[in-house]
Structure formats: C-alpha cells, structure tokens
Chain A
Amino acid sequence: MAGWFKKDGKWNVNRIIGFSLVVIALVFSLVGCFYTPYDPNAMHGDLKNAEPSLSHWFGTDNFGRDVLSRVMKGAGTTFLVGLSVVSIGAVGGCLLGAFTGYFGGKADLILMRVNDAVAAIPSILLALVFVGIFGSGTLQLIAALGILFVPSFARVVRSGFVVQKELDYVKNARLMGAGHLRIMFVHILPNIRSSLFSALAIGFNNAVLSEAAMSYLSLGVQPPDASLGRMLSEAQPYFFRAPWNALAPGFMILFCVLGVGLLSIGGGESHD
C-alpha cells in the first residue's frame, strides 16, 4: 500500500492528498445515507440563517434547515448522479467505440462524424436543451447527462481499438480461431484500461460539475431534495449575509472533484 503512494522512492504528495479527500467525501456521503444530525428537510422558522455553532456545525439556511445534514444528503445525491451518468456513458461508449473502432467502415465514418458534431457542442448546452424538452428532475438529468457522456467515452475507446486492432496479437488471436466478440472484449479491452480509467475519473468529475451547474440553474434536482448544486443556488441570494450556506456545499464539490482528479493523475503510470 505504501508503495502505491510513492514514486521513484519519494512520497507522491498529490496522491496522498487525493486519496484522503476522496475517503473523506465518501465517508461523509455514505454516513449521510443512514444518519444525519437533523432531518435535512426539516424547517425551523426561528433559526433562519443561523451562524455555525456547536449544535449546527455549518449553520442553518434561510428555512432554518441544518446545512451539515443537507450537505451530507446532497453529497450522496450528487455522487449518485455522477456515478449513474458515468456508468451510462462508459457502458454505451465502450460498446459504441469498440464496435466502430474494431469493424471500421462507413458506419464508423458516419458515426464518428456525428460524434464529432455532438462533441463540438458544449455538453451543458445540450443537457439544457434535453431537459428543456423532457422536463427537469433527477432522472431526466441522469438520462440527459448519461447520453451526452457517451460520445466522449466512445471516442476514447474507439481510438484505442483503432490502434490495437492493427497489432499482431489481434491477428494471432484470429488465426487461433477467436471470435470477434472474444477478441474485442477479452483480448483488446484490457489493453486500453489505463486510458479508460482516466476517462472514467475525468467523466465522473465532469458529471459532478454538470449536475451542480444544472441544479444551480434549477433544471436538475428539484426541491425539496438536497443536492450540492441546488444548495448553492438557494444560498446565493443570502450569500453576503450567510456565506456558510454556500461555502459548505461549494467546498464539498471542490474537495471531491479535486480528490478524484489528483488520484487519476499518473494513475496509469503506476505499472511502469
């Protein structure tokens, strides 16, 4: 374990920080699933925008709700959205990228042109349009972002397959009598795992940031459910009077994304 945190015999500080941040964020949101100090949606009219204190560590918001409890719950929602989005994107992207990259041909050319066109347009713009068409809500958000994340994964997987399929070990596998599916998913896929892992990390971060942005624009997770982006959006009008309302969820997002990002740096190099 200690070796994993070292590089050329020196401590890899970034990886240690990243690991700690991810663990903290995970514990925070996992505990939030089962236990929160207060009911995250319970309002207290006499405790509006209370400053952080021993009873309310991160203070309370404009409805008198406990910010710590809401952050714990909201982090869970945000991570769940992030994970679902990345899963949809990765599975769809792997299938699409593997088939187009491996078989090539006109279908590949056309699909990649479409892929390029979709990738050229900022994903949040498309997500906005998608939500505009199908309505807002957590499930719609997951579906919209998930589909929009498919092209970026497909691109990574496809470019890996295009390189790998020309290598002699693939020809060798064909001569041995391996079928196309076996070659694609047993022989080739393990060889692009390092680029896939970093795509997963980047994808997760983008998903978390996109969820936050969409919820901030009131087009994602709907009230009264807590999500980190939603909390930021609700906190903004009172930002100068009660900044803790925004700082707590804001730094939660920051730490989580920073943690995953730091972990993914050089994650692929550890084999060498």
Chain B
Amino acid sequence: MIDETNAFAKTTLLRVESLSVAFPKPAGGEKTVVNRISFSVKEGEILGIAGESGSGKSMTALAVMGLLPDNARCSGEGIFFDGRNLCAFGTKAKKEEEKLRQELSGKEMAMIFQEPLTSLNPVLTVGKQLEEPLLLHTKLTEEERHKVMLSALAQAELKNGEQLLSAYPHQLSGGMRQRVMIAMAMINKPRLLIADEPTTALDAVTEREIVKLIRKLAKENRMSVVFISHDLAVLRELCDRVMIMKDGQIVEEGPVERIFEAPERTYTKKLMKAAVKGPKEGTEEATRSREENVIVAENICVTYKGTRGLFRKKEEKQAVKNVSFSVKRGEIFGIVGESGCGKSTLLKAVSGLLSEYEGNIRCDSGVQMVFQDPYTSLNPAKKVGWILEEPLRLKTTLSKEERQARVREMLKETELPEDAAGRRVAELSGGQRQRVAIAAALITKPELVLLDEPVSALDVTVQAQILELLLRLQREHNLTYVFVSHDMAVVRKICDRVMVMKDGCVVECGETEELFLQPQQEYTKKLLG
C-alpha cells in the first residue's frame, strides 16, 4: 500500500467532474444510471470501484473511455485527463472530441474488459490485433513492431510469443486471452488503464494471477489503474483507494484499509458483511439428530460420449471418476470445486436428469432442484402462478382452488409479494426470480432439494438474503440439501459437511469447519487461497 504523504504529493491524472449518464426509456423519458459523480485518480494510483449490478460502475468506466453506447446521453462538467477535457458535453464540436479521443485511446489510456473471448476479434490473429495500437499511434518499422509485440507478450507473462502472434483467439485459454488483452492495452505504455471486471469470467486461480500481474505492471510502469469489480476481496488485494457505488452515486470513498476496516456508511457495512462469510451458526445441536442416510452413492462414474457428426467416431470424456458419498437426513451437504471438476454432472446423476452412469445411487426421497441462473430456469413465456402450479398439476390431484391456495402460501413463505403470481418472470429482479425457483422446488413438499450454484448469479447482498431464506426453510421443514458451489465462503456459511472435487475425483470430504481450518490436501489449501 502507498505511503500517504507521498500520495498527496502526486499529481492528478484523471479528474471526473459531476458526470451523469442517462438512457432513454422505451415508454419515453430517461433513466439515469450515473448521477452527478465526481472523483479523481492520481498518477500511479490504483482506484477500485465496487458496487452491485446496476450501480453504474461499468457505465462510469465506459464514459471515461468514451465508449458509451450510442443512445446514452452523457452530461456534466467534464472528464479531465492530464488537464485536457475529454468531453465538453456539447460545448465542443463532436468531431474535435472524437479526434482527441482517437489520439489518446490506446496510447495514453487503455482498457481491458470482462469477456476476453468476445473482446478480441475472432477472425484476426493475435498478432494483427496486437499490432493495431502500434500502427495507429507510432511510426515504428515492421521489425521494430515485431520486437515490441514480443516484449509486450513476455511482460504479460505469456510464453511462446512467436507462436501466439499467429494464433487466433479461440485457440487460447481464458487466462491467456485476458493476458493478450493486457499485453495489447499495455503495448504503448499508457498512463491510465481502465479494467472493467477483468477477472469475473476467470476461475479463482487464474483470477489471482491476473490481479497480481496488473499490480506488478502498474507499479513497474508507474501507471494509474481504475479497477472495476463486484468482488471486494479482489479490490482489497489490489487497490490503493476504493470507491463504493450504488444506484449511480458514490456511497463512500477512501483508502482501501479504512474502507474495509472502518466503513462509515450503512450500505458499505452491509456489503462488507455479506461478502465476509464466517462459519455456520448453531452446527452443534443440528449434528446430533442426523442418523439416517437419504442418499447413498457408490462408485459413480460418468462418461460423456460426444457425437459430433453422422459418421464421426465418438469422443469420450470421463467427467466423474469413481465417486462415493452419502447424505444424511436433515443435513446440508456441500460439493465444491472449480468449473469442470464434475460437481454439476454428479448432481445431475443424483437428480435422475442423467441416466447414463455406472455405479449405484440410492435415493430415498423425491428430488427437486434449484438451478444457478433464475433467468433460464424459469419458463420466460409463463406467469409465476403458472410456473408454481405446474408441479402440483403434474404430481398431485389437487383442485384448481387448492393449487392456487398452495401457491399463495408458498409465495408468502418465500417472502414474495402476493401479486407476483400474476406477473411474468421478466418483470422480476434476479433475487425475486431465485425465490420463485425455490418456491417451485418446495411447493410439492419434497424432503430433498438439490441446489446447483443457487446464489452464484446474484449480487452479494441478495446472495446473503437468499442464503438466509434457504437456511430458514431448511430448519422449518427439516429439509436435506445438496449444495453445489465454487464459492468457498458461501459453502462455509451454509454447509454441515463438504466434499471437495477436482477433475472428476474426490479430493477430500469432511465436516465443514474441520476442513476449512485444517485442510489435508494441497488442492484444498490452494482453493482456500
């Protein structure tokens, strides 16, 4: 972290004065997504902007870079970069503004984005794309450009530079693509780097490497960074100063230590509390009552046989290798691992969605499931009431009135408004949708519920609410959960027992707190960071 006295001596590189961004609404009028915010970034400083979805943090970044969508309306006093006003909001001719932008973008200021795959042009080689900022902003010869490109790739810790230059983006891994993006942004040694959720699409281990790389490059080149993320842990590791945004406004701003250790505003405190997840409360008494097994799975193997073409040979991939576990009645059993470790496949086998597996699964109860993304797990063409009634129609002989009464009861239990039954899924927020999904799973009163990353698509504060709801429902109805997640903190907060998986195998399995405090395997330690 930076020495405070030194930081004040530094000059301001970027200054944003009362910036607003608004979009036209389909029904007429405007929706303001960024509301008169002002902030500045000093030379060599790393500023983090945190906030949940819809807080306006990404729009702020795009406005600074001049990349807002065409229908956005931007207003305010100015965005000053090194004393020059980048957009004078109408007072300056548009052409002139565009020219200044083109001169600075890619040379003095650069940006990296969330999705490295779509952010790279799919039909051009890495070399062609890496070369573009050099062609646009320098007068280097072809040979010199080649040399600069290779050194930029090396700086981004990419090996085999020569080979990479002739590769296409789809041939690289996610982490490599993001490194290419970083190399491209850094190639002209910009003074300001804007990073918009650059690690969100990556897995935990790659995320840490990319964050370290950005910090290293920033310090080596005395470059300022504006780093946007919803992940507070990442910001804490990386930034000098943090700014919390909500509903288009800045809630709180200050040095990273101060914000994390002594937050002043209620919203910041709420955010911190939701993000830092401690151990589960009241585990002791719950453990005693659990005796009987609900699920016993022995030596489960799942092999995917991909058939691509009519006459093609089948490709085989073993997704789950010889996994055995059991779940007791009334417990919350967690399965954790990175993407591709086979945890979701295992869950599918248990639920019956996947019938082609080897081994034995004994399941003494009807199964319902809650999926990760409530946007796709609820039928968008139907109303909430219809969706909730459907399982009753299929599994019970209740009359229409009885079904509707049960729907109302369930809405109340999942803390949804009563009129939600008449609305379509598209009219609900992400958290409300996940509540509907939970209600649909519980409406037939099953004993066992499988939860496949049920909170991963949600914002942190909503996450906390949904976890609370799940815990309450589990206690009240003595439910058994199998909870699959990649998020160690969430698992620790909710699960009684945890199984860690990697490449289709079980790494270790045990009581949650024991496993978190004394992990036996290297891989578990690595996952815990």
Contact = CB atoms under 8 A, between A and B. Distances in A.
Q: A contacts B directly in the complex (CB < 8 Å)?
A: yes
Interface of A: 8-9, 106, 109-110, 113, 167-169, 171-178, 182, 187, 190-191, 193, 272
A132 B377 CA distance: 51
Nearest to B26: A8
B24 A171 contact: no
21 contacts: A8-B26, A9-B28, A113-B310, A167-B376, A168-B371, A168-B372, A168-B373, A169-B376, A169-B377, A169-B378, A169-B380, A171-B353, A171-B377, A172-B437, A175-B352, A176-B368, A177-B395, A190-B379, A190-B381, A191-B381, A193-B381
Contacts of A175: 351-353, 367-369
Contact of A172 (B28, B310, B371, B380): B371
Nearest to B369: A175
B368 to A, nearest CB: 6
A190 B351 CA distance: 26
Interface of B: 24, 26-28, 309-310, 351-353, 367-369, 371-373, 376-382, 390-391, 394-395, 437, 440, 444
A169 B379 contact: yes
In order of increasing CB-CB distance, the 8 nearest A-B pairs are A168-B377, A190-B381, A168-B371, A9-B28, A176-B391, A167-B376, A169-B379, A177-B394
Contact of A8 (B28, B372, B395, B440): B28
A94 to B, nearest CB: 16
Contacts of B379: 169, 173, 187, 190-191
B26 A171 contact: no
Contacts of A169: 376-380
A8 B28 CA distance: 6
A254 to B, nearest CB: 32
B377 A172 contact: yes
A191 B382 CA distance: 9
Nearest to B443: A176
Given A177-B395, A190-B382, A272-B26, A172 B367 contact: no
Q: Is the interface of A mostly helix, strand, loop or mixed?
A: helix
Contacts of B353: 171, 174-175
Given A172-B378, A176-B391, 19 more contacts: A8-B26, A9-B27, A113-B310, A167-B376, A168-B371, A169-B377, A169-B380, A171-B353, A171-B369, A172-B369, A172-B377, A172-B440, A175-B368, A177-B394, A178-B390, A190-B381, A191-B379, A191-B380, A272-B26
A173 B390 contact: yes
Contacts of A173: 379, 390
Give the interface centre of A110, A171, A173, A175 by most chain B CB atoms within 10 Å: A175
A110 to B, nearest CB: 7
Give the interface centre of B379, B380, B391, B395 by most chain A CB atoms within 10 Å: B379
A29 B417 CA distance: 51
B391 to A, nearest CB: 4
Given A187-B379, A191-B381, A109 B310 contact: yes
B89 to A, nearest CB: 23
Contacts of A168: 371-373, 376-377
A178 B389 CA distance: 12
Contact of B394 (A8, A9, A176, A193): A176
A103 B380 CA distance: 22
Contacts of A171: 353, 369, 371, 377
Contacts of A193: 381
A80 B326 CA distance: 65
A171 B353 CA distance: 7
A203 to B, nearest CB: 22
A246 B50 CA distance: 69
A220 to B, nearest CB: 38
A9 B377 CA distance: 33
Given A169-B378, A190-B382, A110 B28 contact: no
A9 B351 CA distance: 48
A177 B378 CA distance: 15
Contacts of A178: 390, 394
Nearest to A269: B26
A151 B353 CA distance: 31
Nearest to B373: A168
Nearest to A8: B26
